[in-house]
Structure 1
Amino acid sequence: MAMNNETTSSNLTGHFLIAMPSLNGSAFGHTITYICEHNEQGAMGIVLNHPLQLNLDDIFAHLEIDDVSATRPDAVLAGGPVQTERGFVLHEHHQDKTWQGTQSLANNIYLTTSQDILDDMAHDRGPEHSLVALGYAGWGAGQLEAELAENAWLTTPADNDIIFRTPIEKRASAAAAKLGIDLSLISPQAGHA
């Protein structure tokens, strides 16, 4: 019996992937990932709970943004192992502002990859709720479906409160709780019925 609440052929855009214990020891051990895009070519997501030893103030300084008016100690996340030098801002809609590299995802969640949003964030003109990640998680065609078939992930529709208003260290357990699952009680040894 599969532990996923979605069929493996579903489009998981706008869903969470919650790592099962079988992924412990890998780059995805203990992670929760928001899936930004999933189609027949593969999938792309942002890991939501692996903070780096960087914060937004460090990013503003690195980008030499002048006259920063907002102190932003928010942790910058390790969004995944692909293109770790590239920044991604996951955010909710900002009614008065749009940015160059913004893509609408699902449920009022947007992904922006252009530096103009960071400049606005440094000057208190950015989105009210956001997170910044370096890198992303990527899967080739059929790869995520194969991992789902092996019960490597739990899936559930994403929740903006978990992404933007839940402490980083509680995001995976909060998402699993939506499914009625306590991650601390799941054994690393997978069984097959």
Structure 2
Amino acid sequence: MNLTHHFLIAMPGLEDEAFAKSVVYLCEHSPRGAMGLVINKPSEISLKSLFDKVELPLRRADLSDSPVFQGGPVQTERGFVLHEAFSGTDIDPSESVYASTMAIPGGLEMTTSKDVLEALSTGAGPRRVLISLGYSAWGEGQLEAELGENSWLTVEADLAVIFDTPVEQRYDKALMLLGLQAWMLSPEAGHA
């Protein structure tokens, strides 16, 4: 089972504060574990404030008021940028234009280096981005165990949910990918 480029959608019974009613985009899933970013829990910080804090101008009016997300409980002081992969014709598609970047099947990359912020500060950089502080991680077998406990639903990720859907609608839109609505889910997990 490889859930890379999938959403984890928290079941109503998942009461962990970091993950209750969350949608996590999985950047990586392997036998060693999983890593992802919560895409529907905005922090109090706007991208403009973040750029001011790292002493960079933000010359992208379309991003100014966007929130910085709480990507998860691990390394909450570190930034993670989920963005579309650069698709220039003179760039080798197996290599990113940014340092410290993980290519994700599905046309996305996750970058942790400051150069992507520097590109955005000039008015360039990836067209669509989601910036978070912190990330979510599961050790070997941990996510599989949580799936077995019915803590999460899974569905292949849809970029429109990440980049085009208002934050407050992302949980419901992710559920709709499965043909579900929140009222259909019980907080009690059942096992046959």
User: Normalised by the size of structure 2, how large is the TM-score?
Assistant: 0.90
With 143-152 and 122-131 compared, the bigger mean Cα shift is at 122-131
1:14-25 equivalent positions in 2, closer than 5 A: 14-25=5-16
Tell me the residue number matched to 1:35.
Answer: 26
Structure 1: runs of 5+ lacking an equivalent: 1-9
1:61-80 equivalent positions in 2, closer than 5 A: 61-66=52-57, 68-71=58-61, 72-80=64-72
CA contact (8 A) 1:84 1:136 kept: yes
SS at match of 1:22: coil
Letter in 1 for 2:39: L
What is the distance in 2 between the residues matched to 1:69 and 1:182?
38
Backbone CA RMSD of aligned residues: 1.4
SS at match of 1:174: helix
SS at match of 1:23: coil
Tell me the residue number matched to 1:93.
Answer: 85
What is the distance in 2 between the residues matched to 1:135 and 1:118?
16
Q: CA deviation at 1:25?
A: 4.5
Q: CA deviation at 1:30?
A: 0.3
Residue 163, structure 1, aligned to residue 155, structure 2: no
Letter in 2 for 1:19: A
What is the distance in 1 between the residues matched to 2:51 and 2:77?
15
CA contact (8 A) 1:120 1:126 kept: yes
Tell me the residue number matched to 2:133.
Answer: 134
Tell me the residue number matched to 2:76.
Answer: 84
Would you say how many aligned residue pairs link Structure 1 and Structure 2?
183
Letter in 1 for 2:26: I
SS at match of 2:180: coil
Letter in 2 for 1:32: V
CA contact (8 A) 1:36 1:46 kept: yes
With 22-31 and 135-144 compared, the bigger mean Cα shift is at 22-31
Percent identical among aligned pairs is: 46
Letter in 2 for 1:79: G
SS at match of 1:125: coil
CA contact (8 A) 2:10 2:23 kept: yes
Q: CA deviation at 1:135?
A: 0.2
With 143-152 and 166-175 compared, the bigger mean Cα shift is at 166-175
What is the distance in 1 between the residues matched to 2:158 and 2:59?
30
With 70-79 and 95-104 compared, the bigger mean Cα shift is at 95-104
Q: CA deviation at 1:24?
A: 2.6
With 24-33 and 152-161 compared, the bigger mean Cα shift is at 24-33
CA contact (8 A) 1:94 1:128 kept: no
